[in-house]
């Protein structure tokens, strides 16, 4: 029996790039006659004609399957829906804007077929065409998260990777509500080959990620895969308690020896404000974790599919 490749493609307002992606993906898949294939497009609540385009494509090619969300659930949810519904022996996640070139697939397949690896992941070797401040923050993020968590996240790693079935099953099992796929891929382990490639600009349309959205996403990543911020908060508490004892001693001794307790109002206010700030900061950190726990305990579904051409699709999970 032929092995099957599933391509998972999250799409949010991608009406312009989809035809380009489809053409390129079909070209590459046709070059791989030894494999069956399916293209699993996940329409993440687009407000443009993405769904219409997908329906047209599915009419043209029976390998096209679409899962359409009832609203925008985010790329993480879209990828999860893809993993839950992909039936291939090999599964790849790729962006609809051709920034993850399908032309790399044959090489990635070869590497997996050789049997030495369970997944082939891609990383950009350059950040050309990206604002320098964004690159700077991205580098910092990778440094920090690798230092403080178990999820080993490679700098420049993209979500684009080809995986064997076992790995996909493990990802589906990781059903946490707050998802950070780069962390999940790293956390589950398996033998991964890193394939470097030059950054490609998006073929059409615009990026959905503002600097602010990326910044928030990176904080998510840290909170989801590390307890370090909590430890930091505890340590700050211990250190400042120690300092306050020393200061207390200092004030008492000064009063006894010099008899002058009143001076120093300004420094007092500074200290009170400073400690107030630290306390709020630490409370905030705890709040972040508590908020995550709150959401996890609700066990809300990750996604809701309102329309699809797959009869036995997992529609809510």
- Give the nearer residue to Mg ion in terms of CB position, either 214 or 232: 214
According to CB under 5 A, which one of 16, 44, 76, 97 is a site residue for Mg ion? 97
Q: Which long-range contacts (CB under 8 A, 24 or more apart) does 127-131 make?
A: 127/156, 127/199, 128/198, 128/199, 129/199, 129/201, 130/199, 131/211
- Give the nearer residue to ligand UDP in terms of CB position, either 162 or 282: 162
Q: Binding mask 189-228 vs Mg ion (x if CB under 5 A, - otherwise)?
A: -------------x--------------------------
Check binding of 207 to ligand UDP (CB under 6 A): yes
Name which of Mg ion, ligand UDP, none residue 12 binds, using a CB cut-off of 5 to 8 Å depending on partner kind.
Answer: ligand UDP
* Cβ-based burial of 37 (10 A; exposed 0-12, middle 13-18, buried ≥19): buried
Structure tokens belonging to residue 231: 């430890």
Cα 67 from Cα 78, distance rounded (Å): 9
Structure tokens belonging to residue 77: 């949810």
Provide the sign of the torsion angle of the four alpha carbons 101, 35, 29, 308, taken in this order: negative
- Give the nearer residue to Mg ion in terms of CB position, either 43 or 226: 43
Check binding of 14 to ligand UDP (CB under 6 A): yes
Check binding of 12 to ligand UDP (CB under 6 A): yes
Please choose, out of 114-122, 186-194, 203-211, 271-279, the segment that lies near ligand UDP by the rule CB under 6 A. Answer: 203-211
- Give the nearer residue to Mg ion in terms of CB position, either 89 or 95: 95
CB 170 to Mg ion: min, Å: 26
Pairing state of beta strands 157-164 and 90-93? antiparallel
CB 75 to ligand UDP: min, Å: 4
Check binding of 96 to ligand UDP (CB under 6 A): yes
Check binding of 44 to Mg ion (CB under 5 A): no
CB 286 to ligand UDP: min, Å: 28
Q: By CB under 5 A, what part of segment 99-118 binds Mg ion? A: 99
Q: Which is nearest to 69 in space by CA: 110, 13, 132? A: 13
- Give the nearer residue to ligand UDP in terms of CB position, either 22 or 117: 22
Check binding of 183 to ligand UDP (CB under 6 A): no
- Give the nearer residue to ligand UDP in terms of CB position, either 12 or 22: 12
Name which of ligand UDP, Mg ion, none residue 123 binds, using a CB cut-off of 5 to 8 Å depending on partner kind.
Answer: none
Check binding of 80 to ligand UDP (CB under 6 A): no
Q: By CB under 6 A, what part of segment 16-55 binds ligand UDP? A: 44
In contact, 107 and 114? CB cutoff 8 Å: no
Check binding of 309 to Mg ion (CB under 5 A): no
| Binding site residues, ligand UDP, CB under 6 A | 10-12, 14, 44, 72, 74-75, 78, 95-97, 99, 202, 207-209
């Amino acid at each position: 029996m032929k092995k099957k490749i599933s391509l998972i493609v999250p799409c949010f307002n991608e009406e312009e790039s989809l035809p380009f992606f489809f053409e390129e993906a079909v070209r590459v898949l046709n070059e791989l006659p030894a494999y069956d294939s399916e293209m699993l497009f996940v329409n993440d609540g687009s407000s443009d004609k993405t769904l219409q385009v997908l329906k047209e494509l599915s009419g043209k090619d029976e390998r096209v399957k679409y899962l359409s969300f009832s609203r925008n659930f985010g790329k993480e949810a879209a990828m999860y829906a893809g993993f839950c519904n992909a039936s291939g022996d090999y599964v790849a996640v790729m962006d609809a804007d051709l920034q993850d070139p399908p032309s790399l697939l044959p090489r990635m397949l070869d590497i997996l077929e050789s049997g030495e690896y369970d997944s082939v992941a891609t990383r950009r070797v350059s950040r050309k065409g990206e604002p320098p401040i964004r690159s700077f923050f991205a580098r910092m993020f990778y440094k920090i998260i690798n230092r403080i968590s178990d999820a080993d996240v490679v700098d420049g790693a993209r979500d684009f990777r080809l995986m064997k079935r076992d790995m996909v099953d493990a990802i589906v099992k990781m059903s946490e509500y707050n998802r950070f796929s780069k962390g999940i891929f790293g956390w589950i382990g398996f033998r991964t080959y890193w394939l470097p490639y030059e950054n490609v600009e998006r073929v059409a349309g615009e990026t959905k990620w503002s600097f602010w959205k990326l910044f928030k996403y990176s904080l998510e990543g840290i909170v989801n895969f590390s307890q370090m911020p909590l430890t930091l908060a505890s340590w700050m508490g211990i250190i400042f308690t120690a300092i306050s004892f020393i200061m207390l001693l200092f004030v008492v001794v000064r009063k006894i020896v010099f008899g002058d307790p009143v001076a120093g109002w300004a420094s007092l206010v500074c200290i009170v404000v400073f400690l107030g700030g630290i306390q709020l900061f630490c409370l905030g950190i705890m709040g972040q974790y508590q908020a995550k726990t709150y959401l996890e305990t609700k066990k809300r579904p990750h996604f809701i599919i309102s329309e699809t051409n797959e009869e036995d699709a997992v529609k809510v999970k």
